[in-house]
């Protein structure tokens, strides 16, 4: 047994209250299921992890811990299905592992097509570090470990607490324009902060301090604006939906992607970015509360619809990337 294998089995045994020496290697499937009973995504109804005949009291886990899951059947892809972060594992090797039946970390027993001793050691080391990150709720680990185009794989693990955000401004240049409203949709609630009222760095930091933040073109526009005007530190993993949308040939701006996916914004379908600027001016110069209400509604649709888009995109990527190989 390699050092990485010993570490992995020792941590598994500790979780079950046993000793590493009590468990043989490789672990049988039933033992893996018992020791690594990861909960499936909380936004979908699921059965209990353990069978009724073996159900035990739930483990006490840190409040920051991410949901963990058993090898998934019909849910979208999660980080536990990913082997790409391990040194020596590329997309082709990962697909071969899936095709070989190794679709989840708990399935890996040191063997697989094209997997030599060094790569197996790297995979064990990655799994051990990744499970520690899950236990600690450390999503930044996965943002650093996954290729930039694969951050969507983390979504299922944190779906209930993603902070979807969108801003409105008086122009495109962050140096000559100001932020007028910011909406954050998180945990089913949408909060809109308004310039001159409650739009402060402290409020923004609290709303955006999440396991993951998501935007559309936010890496190039929204985030730099906020960082410049409010001296924010957006340290959470940032999933910019513009890029996975392009991967699926969903091109154009946010409104075009919404139309392509059938996402509705009927109340403010006639409002665009230019009209949003005019609405703010009517409020700022004439105290037109109706204009502000319309601007806020528009900004909230921008933000809430991001969740519908990410749900659709994650499902399509699951079908394209993972499902054909399992």
- Contacts of 194 by beta carbon, 8 Å cutoff, 6+ apart: 180, 181, 292, 296
Same domain, 85 and 213: no
| Final residue before a domain boundary, out of 98, 115, 146 | 146
Considering 106, 122, 146, which residue would you say is the last residue of a domain? 146
Residue 257 within any structural domain of the chain = yes
Mean pLDDT by 10 residues, the chain (326 residues): 48 37 32 29 31 31 38 67 96 96 96 92 98 96 95 96 98 95 98 98 97 98 96 94 98 95 89 95 97 97 96 96 95
| pLDDT score for 75 | 54
Q: What is the CA radius of gyration of the chain?
A: 23
What 8-state DSSP symbol labels residue 318?
I
76 and 179 belong to one structural domain:
no
Token pair recorded at residue 112: 């697989």
**What pLDDT does 267 receive?**
85
pLDDT at 265: 86
Residue 64's pLDDT is what? 39
Same domain, 50 and 138: yes
**Scanning the structure block, which residue is given the tokens 């990861």?**
38
Q: Are residues 174 and 314 in the same domain?
A: yes
Query: Do 31 and 104 reside in the same domain of the chain?
Result: yes
Per-residue pLDDT at 2: 52
Domain boundary among 98, 123, 146: 146
Element (H, E) at 305: helix 289-317
Predicted pLDDT at 76: 79
What does the pLDDT read at residue 286? Answer: 96
Within 71-220, strands assigned E span 162-169, 179-186, 189-194, 212-215
> Contact 79/127 with Cβ under 8 angstroms?
no
Closest CA to 278 of 260, 290, 265, 262: 290
Judgement on whether residues 44 and 172 belong to the same structural domain of the protein: no
Rounded distance between C-alpha atoms, residue 122 and residue 172, angstroms? 45
Instruction: Write the CA distances from 165 to 48, 150, 315, integer angstroms.
Output: 33, 20, 21
CB atoms within 10 A of CB 56: 10
Has residue 151 been placed in a domain?
no
Rounded Cα gap, residues 295 and 197, in angstroms: 15
Structural domain boundaries enclosing 187:
159-324
Say if residue 313 is in the same domain as residue 164: yes
- Note whether residue 154 is domain-resident: no
Chain Cα centroid distance, residue 6: 30
């Amino acid at each position: 047994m390699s050092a990485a294998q010993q570490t992995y089995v020792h941590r598994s045994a500790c979780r079950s209250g046993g000793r590493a020496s009590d468990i043989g290697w490789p672990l049988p499937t039933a033992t893996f299921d018992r020791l690594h009973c990861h909960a499936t995504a909380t936004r979908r109804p699921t059965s209990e992890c353990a069978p009724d005949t073996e159900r035990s009291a739930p483990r006490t886990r840190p409040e920051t811990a991410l949901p963990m899951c058993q090898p998934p059947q019909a849910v979208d892809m999660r980080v536990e299905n990913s082997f790409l972060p391990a040194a020596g594992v590329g997309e082709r090797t990962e697909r071969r592992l899936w095709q070989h039946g190794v679709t989840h970390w708990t399935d890996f027993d040191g063997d697989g097509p094209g997997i030599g001793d060094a790569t197996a050691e790297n995979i064990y080391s990655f799994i051990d570090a990744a499970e520690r990150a899950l236990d600690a709720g450390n999503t930044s680990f996965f943002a650093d470990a996954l290729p930039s185009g694969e951050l969507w794989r983390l979504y299922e693990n944190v779906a209930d607490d993603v902070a979807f955000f969108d801003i409105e401004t008086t122009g495109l240049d962050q140096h000559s324009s100001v932020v007028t409203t910011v909406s954050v949709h998180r945990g089913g609630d949408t909060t809109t902060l308004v310039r001159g009222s409650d739009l402060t760095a402290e409020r923004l930091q609290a709303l955006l301090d999440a396991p993951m933040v998501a935007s559309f073109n936010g890496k190039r526009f929204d985030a730099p604006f906020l960082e410049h005007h409010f001296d924010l530190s957006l340290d959470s993993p940032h999933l910019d939906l513009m890029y996975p949308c392009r991967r699926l040939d969903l091109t154009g701006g946010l409104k075009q992607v919404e139309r392509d996916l059938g996402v509705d914004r009927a109340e403010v379908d006639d409002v665009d970015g230019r009209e949003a600027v005019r609405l703010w001016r009517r409020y700022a110069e004439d105290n037109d509360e109706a204009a502000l209400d319309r601007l806020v509604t528009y900004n909230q649709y921008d933000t809430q619809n991001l969740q519908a888009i990410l749900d659709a995109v994650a499902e399509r990527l699951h079908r394209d990337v993972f499902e054909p190989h399992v």
